[in-house]
Amino acid sequence: MTFTASFLLASLLCFINSHAWIVPQETLVLPRQEATSNEIPSHVRSFWMKRALQALDELVSPCPYEAFGAVIVNHTTYLPDDIGDLICIGANAISTGNPTLHGEMAAINNCTAVLSDPDGHYKLSPAEIQKAWHQLTLYTTAEPCPMCSAAIRWAGFKECVYGTSAATLAANSWSLIDISSEEVFERSSNLKPSTRLISNIASNETDPYFQWQNDPYAECPGGCARKENTCSPTHAHGGT
């Protein structure tokens, strides 16, 4: 079945207003001015991808079935050795019954709640939050689906960085809508500002999180072990 890009983008006109996980406010910063994304070294990219994996353990489990974690980061810094600032985290929570609550959507909701909280530190207006997205980078453990890709473009993020590709997910028997994030980004080029798409960051670390679900012989992610046909944590974790 073919979906047009206009349908995909129109489907994201209204963002979900769901439960968000909040990062302590002392770790949050407002976007700062100007930085060239090309200056961000690979080890910094890998650091934040690992942080997105860590979000899974914090919010769900070290081996959740839907291992789609995300972090939103501020890279607009004046210091060349600054790795950036964590704004918020998110993890796939479709188990709540909300089929749209993917990791990227959870992270966007989280930041929206933090930045708009009338009793919080920032108290940003909707217009101010919309401008803030333009300076932020979203890291996600796997290539965004068409829904999340469209949300990222509607928000106007500065960058979207992912680990495991959709092709790798498909090779591991994940069911997908066959429209790549690259295609959604290309077909939404009329939306300003543009969003830079960066692929396959630390995929050697993210890929194993998506291999065990459909392969009973695949190794479990770290901190987990086989129990019947699934991977289960071997230690207590911070998820719910």
- What is the value of pTM for the model shown? 0.82
Average pLDDT on 152-177 reads 98
d(CA 158, CA 193): 8
CA 65 vs. chain centroid, Å, equals 16
CA 171 vs. chain centroid, Å, equals 21
d(CA 111, CA 68): 17
Q: Which amino acid is at 69?
A: G
Q: b/e string for 76-92 if b means 16 or more Cβ within 10 A?
A: bbeeeeebbbbbbbbbb
Residue 134 pLDDT > 90, yes or no? Answer: yes
CATH topology for the 36-233 domain: Cytidine Deaminase; domain 2 (3.40.140)
Residue 3 pLDDT > 60, yes or no? Answer: no
Q: Looking at 104, 182, 183, 186, which residue is catalytic?
A: 104
**Domain definitions of the chain by residue range:** 36-233
d(CA 210, CA 70): 15
d(CA 201, CA 60): 22
Which among 126, 114, 157, 162 has a CA at the least distance from the CA of 141?
162
Model pLDDT for residues 189-201, shown as the tens digit of each residue? 999 999 999 999 9
Question: Pick the residue with more confidence: 16 or 1?
Answer: 1
Q: Which amino acid is at 100?
A: T
In the block, residue with structure tokens 């890929």: 207
Q: Which two tokens stand for residue 174?
A: 């994940």
Residue 35 pLDDT > 70, yes or no? Answer: no
Task: Respond yes or no: is residue 186 known to be catalytic.
Answer: no
Which among 209, 197, 198 has a CA at the least distance from the CA of 54?
209
The pLDDT value recorded for residue 17 is 36
The pLDDT value recorded for residue 101 is 97
Give me the percent of the chain exceeding a pLDDT of 70: 80
Residue 13 pLDDT > 50, yes or no? Answer: no
The pLDDT value recorded for residue 122 is 72
Average pLDDT on 7-29 reads 39
